[in-house]
């Protein structure tokens, strides 16, 4: 049975089924995209955005705990209409959960709490979008998705392979995310340009690593990545996948990243061909008075939702 997942605050509570999923959502004055109740109430929404301002192990520049709020604030300046899709993706309903209150919890306890809430949301069949926060939040989100989808593959977009078994004395460091995912299910990492010499040695047979150096030389990587994925996919986007020129607000920027349109082309293809069951966008570390990275992340989230629900249907498809 789903467990209760209520958090404190002024938002509206919704009890989805007696027995009971209890997610408080933000109202129009605070929610993603500035949506009225009829497009953001929990019950009618097909999408749930879960802000997870978790930051414990960021190693270089800090600030990812402010990422979810910066994305939501920026989203409120986006248009509802998407010209590429010729649609208003928000029509599917986008509920914004109250930022996850970890109530002073740390380490594994905090991650268990994230998993519990995420599993509650996923059990309703809604499309969960987690907003980080540091990349560590992906581990409990993948666990939650794996509870329902056993044939899950994780698609991991990142400059860093994140395959250290342990870093700075912790297996839960954000540099260890994919080592933990490797213990749960198959995965494909793309965009890599910073990692370890012996990475790949202890990986499960279903894991694949795609390096940026090779990807920019051979565009067939898109199809090869899709071929490696199972039908059900969990997508995690570390924003440092993108080039620091377009996405400077990350804790550990790496030159040689990817850009807006080439990435969107791939994401649309992904959403068209696979059943993406949930996703996260992580590691935004907002820079004061620099708004374009926040807008970039917010629009990326809205694009993911648009492709998920409209990518198969509309004019350029
Ligand atoms: Mn990274």
Measured in Å, residue 214 CA sits from the centre of ligand 1 at: 18
Total domains in the fold of the chain = 1
**Ligand 1 centroid, distance to 224 Cα (angstroms):** 22
| pLDDT score of 1 | 33
Gap from CA of 1 to ligand 1 centroid (Å): 35
CB 133 within 8 A of CB 55: yes
Q: What is the pTM of this model?
A: 0.92
> Is pLDDT at 19 greater than 50 in this prediction?
no
Residue 202 sits in which domain range? 12-310
Report CA(50)–ligand 1 centroid distance (Å).
20
Residue 77 in any domain: the answer is yes
The more confidently predicted of residues 61 and 294 is 294
Q: pLDDT of 287-314, one tens digit each? A: 999 999 999 999 999 999 999 999 876 5
Q: Which percentage of the chain shows pLDDT scores above 90?
A: 82
Neighbours of ion ligand 1 (CB under 5 A): 158-160, 238, 240
Query: Residue 167 domain-assigned?
Result: yes
Q: Indicate whether 4 belongs to any domain.
A: no
Distance 256 CA to ligand 1 centre (A): 13
User: Domain for residue 315, yes or no?
Assistant: no
108-148 tens-digit pLDDT? 999 999 999 999 999 999 999 999 999 999 999 999 999 99
CA-CA distance, 96 to 239, in Å (whole number)?
A: 21
In a domain, 192, yes or no: yes
Tell me, yes or no, whether 317 lies in a domain. no
Output the domain CATH number for residue 197: 3.40.800.10
How close is the Cα of 258 to the center of ligand 1, in Å? 13
User: Which residue in this structure is represented by tokens 């939040």?
Assistant: 137
Tens digits of residue pLDDT in 235-266: 999 999 999 999 999 999 999 999 999 999 99
- Give domain status of residue 254, yes or no: yes
Widest distance between CA atoms in the chain: 54
Using the mean position of ligand 1's atoms as its centre, give its distance from the Cα of residue 23 in Å. 30
Judge whether 134 and 282 are in contact, CB under 8 Å.
yes
Using the mean position of ligand 1's atoms as its centre, give its distance from the Cα of residue 216 in Å. 18
**5-22 burial, b if ≥16 CB within 10 A, otherwise e?**
bebeeebbebebeeeebb
């Amino acid at each position: 049975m789903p467990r209760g997942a209520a958090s404190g605050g002024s938002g509206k509570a919704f009890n989805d089924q007696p027995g009971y999923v209890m997610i408080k959502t933000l109202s129009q004055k605070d929610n993603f995209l500035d949506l009225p109740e009829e497009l953001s109430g929990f019950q009618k929404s097909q999408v749930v955005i879960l802000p997870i301002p978790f930051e414990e192990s960021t190693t270089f520049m800090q600030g990812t705990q402010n990422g979810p709020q910066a994305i939501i604030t920026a989203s409120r300046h986006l248009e509802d209409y998407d010209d590429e899709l010729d649609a208003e993706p928000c029509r599917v309903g986008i509920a914004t959960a109250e930022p996850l209150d970890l109530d002073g919890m740390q380490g594994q306890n905090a991650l268990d709490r994230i998993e519990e809430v995420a599993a509650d949301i996923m059990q309703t069949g809604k499309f969960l979008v987690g907003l980080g926060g540091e990349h560590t939040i992906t581990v409990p989100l993948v666990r939650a998705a794996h509870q329902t989808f056993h044939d899950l593959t994780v698609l991991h977009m990142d400059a860093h392979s994140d395959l250290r078994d342990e870093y700075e004395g912790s297996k839960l460091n954000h540099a260890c995310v994919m080592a933990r995912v490797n213990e749960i299910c198959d995965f494909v990492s793309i965009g890599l340009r910073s990692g370890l010499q012996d990475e790949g040695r202890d990986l499960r047979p279903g894991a694949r690593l795609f390096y940026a150096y090779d990807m920019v030389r051979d565009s067939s990587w898109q199809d090869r990545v899709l071929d490696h994925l199972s039908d059900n996919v969990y997508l995690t986007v570390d924003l440092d996948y993108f080039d620091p020129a377009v996405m400077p607000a990350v804790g550990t920027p790496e030159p040689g990243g990817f850009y807006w349109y080439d990435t969107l082309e791939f994401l649309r293809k992904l959403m068209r061909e696979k059943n993406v069951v949930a996703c996260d966008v992580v590691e935004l570390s907002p820079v004061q008075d620099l708004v374009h990275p926040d807008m970039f992340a917010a629009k990326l989230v809205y694009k993911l939702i648009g492709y998920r629900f409209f990518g198969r249907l509309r004019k350029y498809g």
